[in-house]
Amino acid sequence: MADRKQKPNLKFDPVREAALQALVLIEQGQQTDEAISSVSEGKEFRPLDNRFIMQLVNGTVKMRRRIDHEIKFYLARPSKDLPLLLQNIIRLGYFQLRFTDRIPDAAAVNESVNLAHHLLDKRRANLVNAVLRASIREPGKVAFCSAKDNPTKYLADYYSYPDFFVKYALREFGFEDTESLLKYYNQSPHVTYRVNYLLAKPEEVLELLDANDVTYSVGKFLPEFIHIESGGLPLEEELIKSGKVFIQDEAAGLATRLLNPRPGSAVVDLTAAPGGKATHIAIKMRNKGRVTAIDKSNKRLELLVENCKRLGIKIIAPIISDMNMFEGGLFDRVLLDPPCTGWGTAGKHSDLRWAKTSEDTKTLINIQTKMNDHAAKLVKPGGVLVYSTCTIIRDENDQIIEEFIIRNKQFEIDSAAEFFPEGIVNSRGFVRTYPTVDKLDGAFCARLRRKTE
C-alpha cells in the first residue's frame, strides 16, 4: 500500500476501507468473522458502521465469481489479472452498484475512486472510475453462457459458486431445485434466538419482542427457537447479554432434541466448543446431571465457559482433549458433531464456498468415520449416540451411518420418527433439513442405540 503520509488531504470512507482490508485478508486465507474483527479492532465504528461492513464484506465475498465475470466485460484487457488490492476495490464498488438497493450509484463510484487514490495512485483510480461508470452506462454488455448448453457454468457464474458444488447439487437435486438452493444461500441471513429456559420462558421473550415491534416467527420444529425476521440483533442487551437467549439456528438444535438428554444423566459432547449444543443439552437437563464438554482448543473452550456463565449453566465440565484420545468412561448419551464441509450453512458463512474444495469431502469422510467409531466406545449398553452435521453432502451423512452400522453390530438405528414429523425424517429414520424446503440451515442427524445384549 502507498504511504498515507504522502496523501494527507485525500478524503476516503474509513468504513469502506475497513471492508476492503477485510476482503484482502479473506482472500489471503482468513475466515470472514476473523477478518472483520481484525479490521474493526481499535476503531470507533458505530453499530450501524459495523453492520455496513458486514453487509459489504459478506455480500462481496459471496458474489465474487459473478462480480469477476461481469467486470471482465468492462476491462480493456479482460484476460490480464489485476493486482489484489485494485481488484478488491473494483469488486467492492461493483457489489454496491449491482447488489445493493440503498447506495446511490454516485456514492458507490466516488467512494471506490477515493479508496484507489488513497491506497494506490491516480492511474489506477482512473481505471476504477472507468470500469464502474461503464457498468452503469452499459449494463446490458454482460453475457452468460446458455443454461441449457452448460448448466454447471451458467449456475456457477450467475449465482457465484465453485463448479464442484454446483455439479454435486445438479446430480442430487436437479436444475430447478439447485437454482433455488443457490438463490437461497445468496440471501442475507437472519439470526435465530434460542430461549434459555433456565432464565426465561418463550412467552416472556415473545412479549418483549412484540413490545418493541420486532418481526419474528416461532421455530418450525422446536418451540424454544425464535427466528428474527426484521434483521440485526434486536434487544441485544436485554436478551443476549442477559443470557435469556442464545444465538443458534434451529437446525443445530435438532441434534439435541434427538439426543433427548434426561435430567441427572451423564452426557458427553465430543466437539463441544464454543458450546451451542452443549449448553442446549444442559438446559434440557434442567441443570441436573453432568455434561462433559470435550474440545482440543483451549481458546474455544474459554468461550464455552463464558457462555455457561452468561446462561446460568453449572453442569458443564470442559476438558481439553482430542476426542479420539478421550477415554473418560461410559455415558448415557454421546453427541458427535464432527468437522464437515458445512454446505448446509453456506448462506451464513460467505467464505465457505471459496475455502472448500472437492477433495475436502474425501478427507473429512475418513475423519468422520474414525471419530464415529471412537464415539461408539463411550456409549453405555442401552445408551444413545447421535451423529450430527451441518452439511447436505450425502457421503458425509447417510453413508457414514450406513457403513458404521455394518462395522458396529452392537448398534442399531433408532428412528427419529418418535421425535420429529415425517417431513424431515427419511425412510431410514435419519433427520435431514434443506434450506429451500424447511427455511433452516441444512443439517443431518442420526440416533444410534447401543444394544443391551
pLDDT in tens, 389-427: 999 999 999 999 999 999 999 999 999 999 998 889 999
Whether the CB-CB separation of 335 and 277 falls below 8 Å is answered with: yes
Domain C-terminal end among 231, 247, 263:
247
Say yes or no: 66 and 171 in one domain.
no
By CB neighbour count within 10 A (0-12 exposed, 13-18 middle, 19+ buried), where does 143 fall? exposed
Q: Which helix (H) or strand (E) holds 309?
A: helix 298-311
State the catalytic residues.
Answer: 390
Is residue 421, in this structure, part of any structural domain at all? yes
pLDDT at 217: 96
Say yes or no: 163 and 204 in one domain.
no
Is residue 234, in this structure, part of any structural domain at all? yes
pLDDT at 231: 79
**Hey, which residues does 320 pair with through a beta bridge?**
295
How many C-beta neighbours within 10 Å does residue 239 have?
24
Q: Which three cell numbers stand for residue 94?
A: 461493483
Q: Which three cell numbers stand for residue 118?
A: 488513497
Is residue 387, in this structure, part of any structural domain at all? yes
pLDDT at 9: 53
Say yes or no: 130 and 268 in one domain.
no
Is residue 62, in this structure, part of any structural domain at all? yes
pLDDT at 230: 85
User: Residues of the chain whose pLDDT is less than 50?
Assistant: 1-8
pLDDT at 328: 85
Q: Cα dihedral sign for 337, 340, 344, 347? A: positive
Is residue 268, in this structure, part of any structural domain at all? yes
Say yes or no: 285 and 392 in one domain.
yes
Say yes or no: 181 and 104 in one domain.
no
Is residue 146, in this structure, part of any structural domain at all? no
Say yes or no: 419 and 293 in one domain.
yes
Say yes or no: 327 and 405 in one domain.
yes
Number of domains in the chain: 4
Say yes or no: 109 and 240 in one domain.
no
Q: What domain range includes position 211?
A: 192-247
Say yes or no: 175 and 237 in one domain.
no
Say yes or no: 235 and 260 in one domain.
no
Say yes or no: 228 and 255 in one domain.
no
pLDDT at 149: 97
Say yes or no: 169 and 29 in one domain.
no
Q: Which three cell numbers stand for residue 26?
A: 479473506
pLDDT at 4: 43
